[in-house]
């Protein structure tokens, strides 16, 4: 087993995934950044990490990716399942192929990656950590993103299942549920003053979160500082889920 622990972060070419990779690098991990975009190589180079291109909606590709990682770098100590898509659409005529694509990346891919990494952790006696990216939309819903909401609710429950299954092996599994975070996914809202005002009206702290604020929570959950935390979803949402009225 390598002296430097290895962390894999999916969806890491930009935004939250890249921030997670930065935080884990600072914590001493050798980070392997995974994304469907070729830009992941440039992002990894800046961090001194390794970039790999993989479609996290392709279950065979996920297996092949971990084969390569294990052969070239060693077993993984921390996994961050961050890759995800939304694909908005009207509920009444939402395309089933779009629904399936979202579920493949956001939920099936998460399960396959967890299963594979956990099996390797068990085989190597690694007391590792897995962090899945959920969302406030696991608890509250937006009608224009039905598949996304369903997938993130699934991630929340799958996190609990995996935590219970892997606790006897001292492998911890948690999730993070971001609220409104200043990333590419929020770019359209940021560009529209009225939409931004509406989003902030339901965020008590009155601002969008940063990708690094999510990355730091993920790093905490991968560290020994959270050694008695498993099966939890930590919502990093500026107080949004606790709000029962729209702020002025």
8 Å CB contact between 94 and 23 = no
DSSP states along 43-80: HHHHHT-EEEE--TT-HHHHHHHHHHHHHHT---SEEE
d(C-alpha 114, C-alpha 206), whole Å:
35
**Does residue 148 carry a catalytic annotation?**
yes
- Contact partners, residue 98, CB within 8 Å, separation at least 6: 87, 89, 147
d(C-alpha 10, C-alpha 12), whole Å:
5
Structure tokens at 73: 């770098």
Catalytic residue among 94, 148, 235, 245: 148
d(C-alpha 203, C-alpha 31), whole Å:
32
d(C-alpha 52, C-alpha 113), whole Å:
15
Q: What residues act catalytically?
A: 148
């Amino acid at each position: 087993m390598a002296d430097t622990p290895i962390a894999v972060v999916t969806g890491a070419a930009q935004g939250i995934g890249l921030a997670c990779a930065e935080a884990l690098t600072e914590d001493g991990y050798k980070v392997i950044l995974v994304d469907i975009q070729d830009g992941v190589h440039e992002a990894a180079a800046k961090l001194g990490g390794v970039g790999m291109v993989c479609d996290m909606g392709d279950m065979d590709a996920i297996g092949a990716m971990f084969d390569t990682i294990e052969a070239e770098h060693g077993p993984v100590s921390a996994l961050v399942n961050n890759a995800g898509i939304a694909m908005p659409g009207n509920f009444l005529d939402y395309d089933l192929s779009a629904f399936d694509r979202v579920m493949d990346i956001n939920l099936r891919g998460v399960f396959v990656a967890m299963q594979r990494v956990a099996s390797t952790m068990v085989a190597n006696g690694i007391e590792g950590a897995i962090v899945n990216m959920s969302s406030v939309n696991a608890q509250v819903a937006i009608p224009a993103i039905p598949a996304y909401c369903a997938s993130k609710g699934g991630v929340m429950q799958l996190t609990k299942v995996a935590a219970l299954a892997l606790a006897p092996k001292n492998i911890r599994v948690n999730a993070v549920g971001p609220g409104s975070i200043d990333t590419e996914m929020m770019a359209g809202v940021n560009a529209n003053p009225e939409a931004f005002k509406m989003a902030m009206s339901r965020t008590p702290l009155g601002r969008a979160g940063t990708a690094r604020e999510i990355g730091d929570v993920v790093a905490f959950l991968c560290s020994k500082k959270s050694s008695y935390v498993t099966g939890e979803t930590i919502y990093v949402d500026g107080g949004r889920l606790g709000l029962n009225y729209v702020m002025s």
